[in-house]
Structure 1
Amino acid sequence: MPSPAHPSPDDHPHPPHHPHNPSSTALHAERAHLAASRAALRAMRKDAENLNITDVTANWVNAEVLQGEIDARIKALADLSHTPLFFGRLDYLHAPGIDLAEGAAGESFYIGRRHVHDADGDPMVIDWRAPVSQPFYRASKKDPMDLELRRRFGYTGGELTAYEDEHLTGPAVTAPSGSPEEAHTSRLLQAEIERPRVGPMRDIVATIQPEQDEIVRAGIGGTVCVQGAPGTGKTAVGLHRVAYLLYAHRERLARAGTLVIGPNRSFLHYIEQVLPALGELEVKQATVDDLVAHVPVRATDEAAAAMIKGDARMAEVLRRAVRSHISVPEEPCVVVRGSRRWRVPAYELEELVRELTDRDIRYGAAREALPQRIAHAVLVRMEQAGEAPDDRVQDAVARHAAVKAVVKAAWPPVDPAKLVLRLLGDADFLAEQAEGILTPEEQKAILWTQPGSGKRAARSVKSAKWSAADTVLIDEAMDLIERTPSLGHVVLDEAQDLSPMQYRAVGRRCTTGSATILGDIAQGTTPWATGTWDEALAHLGKPGSAVEELTQGFRVPREVIAYASRLLPAIAPGLTEATSIRESAGDFAICRVEPDDLTAAALAACDDALKKEGSIGLIASEARIPLLRTALEAAGIACLAPGEETSAESRLTLVPATLAKGLEYDYVVLDEPAAIVDGEPDERTGLRRLYVCLTRPVSGLTVVHAAPLPEQLTDQRASPWTA
């Protein structure tokens, strides 16, 4: 059970004496172990730097590869002064892995972000992902997992200043106050959770909770979908799951690759330091738009057109369009070799084409197989004539001009971009391929027409003004022709906003691998937002995958999450309302002002927040962002754009509501909620966007408004804050 954290001697020169209080002697010993561990880490890095591979590699290519691996190892062994080398200690009753009946003596292990060993190879710090570290996250009084004691460490500026013990066996310990310590959340853990957020997202390796750890350590064989309410740590869980899988299955994932997919560049910039802090430097990050960037995007679809293009039915339209190029040969194929002529009749060529068509393999693979099938038919005739052709003869026949001519006519090459260009620009072709799939009205909505009609002209791939939805169609067509390479594991965050066709694009990248899907149905803000995770997983190609729900929040103050949850019945009635374990209710104020005072009130709220420690996010509708930026400049208040939070120029970020998803700030000033709702195509989407914005704060929220709030949020309380 937790005992009070021992503060720094500088903070409390005369701490109270108690038999169970952390002693200064013990704290000194822990600091000594930290110093020794850092020295060992420096020695490990020095050993890596001194490696000489001159006589090890056979050629310069191998030398380059090996040197790259050594450089990565050196970089991973960097000692980050403000990142604790270890954050916990486990005292086992028995040596792990030894039968309890043997009565083996217990051992102690320090748990940290990376493995550190001394000159003899003995571990000084154990990687948090190792099996022996698991009880740090899951052990309890009910199931101590053979632990006698779990110790957490507190740091200030990289210096070990406190520790806190939880005795998992034996009688309850009485705190100095005289009350039994039955709390499940330690004070150091609570302090770490509530520590101010400044700069990019940080790892949660010291605060992972049991339900999160189960997801993090789930096996690589299956896909896991995480439905997580705001502040439940689903993004951090997904990133730590990547780090764990790379530890447990490094060789496999090193070959196949790992990818983290986020909703936008600002979000990826915000999370980009988490994995490097855990020692993982090679994980790639991208948006869905990056994956399908086959042509430049220079246009935006209307919502109706984008929804149709994102519909899963378009996959069948494209499949038909690709296969519409196949035709049945009407003439025989005659191959001349020397003085002999070998004839394959048209009916036999037709059988070969129909056989490949019926197999429904990819267009490109079938096109490569057809000349070999024709060549085989020629070789059968050669053998019947008494010749003995070998594989070289078959390859030569397959490359014969007559065979190539048949293949080109019956199974011509297809360019994916040109195919989509024709599909969207040729009304007759679209009608033919979409018959029985899309209605005439739907076909008209996505069709490109000639200049003057108000829609884009489509004359060539290079000149066409492609939209983001068009690039997904091209990606689908490419996969129909040639298989998309599969990665070992893909993490897809903010997945609720993807269209079915986008899910298919992501699913193609992990057909032979697994995925971690992260999202919140209540935060879906696109017209095609996910209705259920079962539907999403089916489009992804992972039907029946496990869906885990996280409802215990760690980031959003409890009063704020309760307020935002008033919107759930309107935006996601089937979801469980989130709770918050944060002890502090947080600063929360609703301030109504006159319309002419709105901008001044928002700036006053920002100025008030800047007097406190931590980051500030001023979130507003797209329409009000230019006005607020001008007002901030006029007031001499520096501000950043989303993704620039690593800058030391300001702690204030001006955030368009459309980019707020996934971000977090200590204090949020929310400008005019009604404008955020009105900025979306429909009320439900607007309320979902507002729900996202309301749930970005870590310590406090101030809502400034002139227009009436949505009826779900109507609050008659007097505001504790005034402009």
Structure 2
Amino acid sequence: MPAQQVPNDPLARERAHLSSSRAALRAMRADVEALDIKDVTANWVNAAVLERQIEDRITALADLAHTPLFFGRLDYLHAPGAEQAEGGASGGAARSASGRGGGRETGGRFYIGRRHVHDADGDPMVIDWRAPVSQPFYRASKKEPMDVRTRRRFGYTGGELTAYEDEDLTDAAGEEQASRLLQTEIERPRVGPMRDIVATIQPEQDEIVRAGIGGTVCVQGAPGTGKTAVGLHRVAYLLYAHRERLARTGTLVIGPNRSFLHYIEQVLPALGELNVAQATVDDLVAHVEVRGEDSPAAARLKGDARMAEVLRRAVRSGVTMPDEAVVVVRGSRRWRVPACEIEEMVRELLARDIRYGAAREALPQRIAHAVLVRMEEAGEAPDDRVQDAVARNAAVKAAVKTLWPAVDPAKLVLRLLSDAEFLAGHAEGVLTAGEQAEILWAKPARSARSAKWSAADAVLIDEAADLVARTPSLGHVVLDEAQDLSPMQYRAVGRRCTTGSATILGDLAQGTTPWATPTWAEALTHLGKPDAAVEELTQGFRVPREVIAYASRLLPAIAPGLAEATSVRETAGDFSVREVAPEARDEAVVTACREALEREGSIGLIAADARVAPLAETLRTAGLPFLAPGEETSADSRLTLVPATLAKGLEYDYVVLDEPSQVVAGEPDERTGLRRLYVALTRAVSGLTVVHAEGLPGQLG
């Protein structure tokens, strides 16, 4: 834009830069769409791969009308080093905003956004939030300005830039001022899936997001501290900083259930990352169809880490020692390997404790090598091809089949759970007789296909499968709601990042399974990452002050060692507890839902699982349409009826909680029930209404 056309009004200038940046983004996308790859690919496979990459790039360059292209600006005192900025062109970024010089002589001006945007000359107009030059936007303060003169935040309504707010960081003696725009963004109503927090990341969150890829990080986060968002933004950052490495090794986000994964699935695409896989733990171990359910006691035992030793013994139980020599016939010659020599091979492979399948593949090669030694002693000159041929010899294959038989993981677990004698033989000294009886099936299945496997059984099969053949490792894994995993589930996740790193997210106070994690040290040991750093987030950005204070009354009973979360929200939030007569309870719930629907944002009606069906009928009778968890809210459908067991990880602007005592009673023990209640109480962003006819749990006072 020529200098004489630059508006004098600062807000108008910023809007002009936004308009220019959007035009530049459209031009970048048009350039990609115009690419012709007919003459640059050697074959159809390369062409298909390149076409997919181009399609992903086009999608990543989409200009989302209601998503701000940039949300902040940094004015540096001195020009950052070229290695800090994308392209290192600080002057270009400054000129695009001001229409005049002011690049290096004024230190450089950088607009911070969700993705990089450059003009026709290649100068950056918007800097990716993950670039090193963007880091001070999240961490700079008056005490540590990080060479930044001014930090500017922008306010938007939809996609329209409507306000800005400057923070002078050169006055070290001045007081830190709370950002009104930051508070507004944090408290903005939520409709639809989870959104990114890229404009509101706090310093302690940014430290976790930008932690190196070499180590595993465990985040203990109270409700509303943004631990899930931090984990997802960490994935986005690692993909930016280590794209080639993670493109080879892969990334995976693991959530507690499909509803949760659906809720978070738009965060990474909004940040330009389209190829991150998502799964539940059940998805990872889906070797068999799960059709059965364990008792709490059986599930707890099957999830116990001791089962790994039982399985290790069982997998190797079929290995036997030879009682006769192996004779290999080649042409007119017969080559004999005595039983004692083969026994040494078998014992050596057992002592090495390598994967069962790898050892089974090594044994025929060992036998073949012994034959080749004899051939050489007889004056022959065999090569590797001869050794491979001997390893495939019928006599060698028959010996291996007998000495080191193939193991089917599902059939092995089926036998363990069906055959009391077989289980006792491999659980001796590991499980008591009573514990063995607890996990044995009362009615054994005829086959692995017809068995009514439970979710815990599938994890056992996954463990057995890994004992047979190594599970491929990914470059980085994010595990959310980790506090609910059993030791065996941790092992299942851990073997998928043995050569990579992980981000573990959870809250010990929200553990609601019979085997919920007691400490992160224990969990990380089962995961295979005992040296992981544990970070604690206690500043709440989502849950209002009064709501988190009310829910925290439960902490002494459910997690006495944890610090109480503190809300940074300026508004206390709407909070009320309504006691009603039993016959008026359903009507009171409907009234609370109607009141919430009069306000902007999403509404979650959370109830004990046993109350969901009656409440659904009540809502239909009252003419209130509602959604189920996992269904996307919209401006026309904002009320979701949520079973308490599915509320974890979700959030709603307003929550109506039905009958807390029944939420507690729906669990096998009081502590688990109180933890489930703690989860339900902390799903609210702007307001919580508790409706009850029965007495409240005593811990709520």
TM-score, structure 1 normalization:
0.92
Q: CA deviation at 1:650?
A: 1.2
Match of 1:187 in 2: 180
Match of 1:127 in 2: 128
> Higher mean Cα deviation, 210-219 or 66-75?
66-75
Structure 1 Cα separation of the partners of residues 127 and 69 of structure 2: 10
Match of 1:18 in 2: none
- Is it true that 1:660 corresponds to 2:647 in the alignment? yes
CA deviation profile, 1:511-562 (whole Å, cap 9, x unmatched): 0000000000000000000000000000000002100000000000001101
Match of 2:483 in 1: 496
Q: CA deviation at 1:598?
A: 1.0
- Is it true that 1:335 corresponds to 2:328 in the alignment? yes
Match of 1:19 in 2: none
Percent identity (aligned): 80
Match of 1:359 in 2: 352
Match of 2:54 in 1: 70
The one-letter code matched in structure 1 to 2:505 is L
Alignment of 1:244-255 (within 5 A): 244-255=237-248
- Is it true that 1:202 corresponds to 2:215 in the alignment? no
Match of 1:575 in 2: 562
The one-letter code matched in structure 2 to 1:165 is D
Q: CA deviation at 1:603?
A: 0.8
* One of 546, 554, 579 as aligned partner of 2:533: 546
The one-letter code matched in structure 2 to 1:145 is M
Match of 1:262 in 2: 255
CA deviation profile, 1:217-246 (whole Å, cap 9, x unmatched): 000000000000000000000000000000
Match of 2:306 in 1: 313
Structure 2 Cα separation of the partners of residues 98 and 288 of structure 1: 43
- Is it true that 1:409 corresponds to 2:402 in the alignment? yes
* One of 222, 227, 233 as aligned partner of 2:220: 227
Change in CA separation of 1:394 and 1:621 when aligned onto 2, cut-off 3 Å: same
CA deviation profile, 1:380-429 (whole Å, cap 9, x unmatched): 00001111100000000000000001100000000000000000000100
Match of 1:280 in 2: 273
Match of 1:610 in 2: 597
Q: CA deviation at 1:626?
A: 0.3
- Is it true that 1:473 corresponds to 2:455 in the alignment? no
Structure 1 Cα separation of the partners of residues 636 and 405 of structure 2: 58
Structure 1 Cα separation of the partners of residues 127 and 564 of structure 2: 37
CA deviation profile, 1:614-666 (whole Å, cap 9, x unmatched): 11000000010000000000111000001112445410000000000000000
Match of 1:559 in 2: 546
The one-letter code matched in structure 1 to 2:169 is L
Tell me the secondary structure at the aligned position of residue 324 of structure 1: helix
Tell me the secondary structure at the aligned position of residue 654 of structure 1: strand
Match of 1:433 in 2: 426
The one-letter code matched in structure 2 to 1:210 is P
Structure 2 Cα separation of the partners of residues 50 and 238 of structure 1: 36
Structure 2 Cα separation of the partners of residues 24 and 518 of structure 1: 48
Match of 2:88 in 1: none
Match of 1:31 in 2: 15
Gaps of at least 5 residues in structure 1 are 1-22, 173-180, 451-456, 715-723
Match of 2:101 in 1: none
Tell me the secondary structure at the aligned position of residue 668 of structure 1: strand
Structure 2 Cα separation of the partners of residues 328 and 320 of structure 1: 16
Q: Is the 8 A contact 1:555 1:698 kept in 2?
A: yes
Tell me the secondary structure at the aligned position of residue 91 of structure 1: strand
Structure 2 Cα separation of the partners of residues 132 and 322 of structure 1: 53
Q: Is the 8 A contact 1:98 1:104 kept in 2?
A: no
Change in CA separation of 1:89 and 1:112 when aligned onto 2, cut-off 3 Å: same
Moved over 2 A (4+): 181-185, 645-649
Tell me the secondary structure at the aligned position of residue 477 of structure 2: strand
Q: Superposition RMSD on alpha carbons, in Å?
A: 1.2
Match of 1:642 in 2: 629
* One of 679, 689, 695 as aligned partner of 1:702: 689
CA deviation profile, 1:409-468 (whole Å, cap 9, x unmatched): 000000000000000000100000101100011000110133xxxxxx311011100000
* One of 623, 630, 636 as aligned partner of 2:617: 630
Match of 2:661 in 1: 674
Q: CA deviation at 1:684?
A: 0.3
Q: Is the 8 A contact 2:574 2:687 kept in 1?
A: yes
Q: CA deviation at 1:98?
A: 7.5
CA deviation profile, 1:61-93 (whole Å, cap 9, x unmatched): 111111110111001000000000000000000
Q: Is the 8 A contact 1:553 1:578 kept in 2?
A: yes
Match of 1:3 in 2: none
* One of 208, 213, 223 as aligned partner of 1:215: 208
Tell me the secondary structure at the aligned position of residue 134 of structure 1: helix
Match of 1:12 in 2: none
Structure 2 Cα separation of the partners of residues 489 and 138 of structure 1: 25
Match of 1:297 in 2: 290
The one-letter code matched in structure 1 to 2:612 is I
- Is it true that 1:349 corresponds to 2:336 in the alignment? no
TM-score, structure 2 normalization:
0.95
Match of 2:448 in 1: 461
Q: Is the 8 A contact 2:650 2:683 kept in 1?
A: yes
Q: Is the 8 A contact 1:638 1:649 kept in 2?
A: no
CA deviation profile, 1:183-209 (whole Å, cap 9, x unmatched): 442000000001011111000000000
Structure 2 Cα separation of the partners of residues 337 and 183 of structure 1: 86
CA deviation profile, 1:84-116 (whole Å, cap 9, x unmatched): 0000000000000289xxx95410000000000
The one-letter code matched in structure 1 to 2:233 is H
The number of aligned residues is 675
Q: CA deviation at 1:24?
A: 7.1
Alignment of 1:106-125 (within 5 A): 106-125=107-126
Match of 2:146 in 1: 145
Q: CA deviation at 1:596?
A: 1.1
- Is it true that 1:380 corresponds to 2:373 in the alignment? yes
Q: Is the 8 A contact 2:69 2:113 kept in 1?
A: yes
Q: Is the 8 A contact 2:142 2:176 kept in 1?
A: no
Q: Is the 8 A contact 1:88 1:152 kept in 2?
A: yes
Match of 2:157 in 1: 156
Q: Is the 8 A contact 1:486 1:510 kept in 2?
A: yes
Match of 1:40 in 2: 24
Q: Is the 8 A contact 2:22 2:63 kept in 1?
A: yes
Q: CA deviation at 1:55?
A: 0.5
The one-letter code matched in structure 1 to 2:252 is L
The one-letter code matched in structure 1 to 2:27 is A
* One of 75, 78, 83 as aligned partner of 2:67: 83
- Is it true that 1:513 corresponds to 2:497 in the alignment? no
Structure 1 Cα separation of the partners of residues 514 and 287 of structure 2: 24
> Higher mean Cα deviation, 621-630 or 648-657?
648-657
Q: CA deviation at 1:182?
A: 3.3
Match of 1:8 in 2: none
The one-letter code matched in structure 2 to 1:45 is R
Tell me the secondary structure at the aligned position of residue 96 of structure 1: coil
Structure 2 Cα separation of the partners of residues 297 and 563 of structure 1: 39
* One of 13, 37, 45 as aligned partner of 1:61: 45
Q: CA deviation at 1:712?
A: 1.3
Q: Is the 8 A contact 1:449 1:458 kept in 2?
A: no
Gaps of at least 5 residues in structure 2 are 1-6, 84-103
Match of 1:176 in 2: none
Tell me the secondary structure at the aligned position of residue 655 of structure 1: strand
Match of 2:393 in 1: 400
Tell me the secondary structure at the aligned position of residue 327 of structure 2: strand
Q: CA deviation at 1:171?
A: 7.4
The one-letter code matched in structure 2 to 1:152 is R
Structure 1 Cα separation of the partners of residues 82 and 362 of structure 2: 58
The one-letter code matched in structure 2 to 1:706 is A
Tell me the secondary structure at the aligned position of residue 570 of structure 1: helix
Match of 1:719 in 2: none
The one-letter code matched in structure 2 to 1:69 is Q
Change in CA separation of 1:578 and 1:461 when aligned onto 2, cut-off 3 Å: same
Match of 1:592 in 2: 579
The one-letter code matched in structure 2 to 1:136 is F
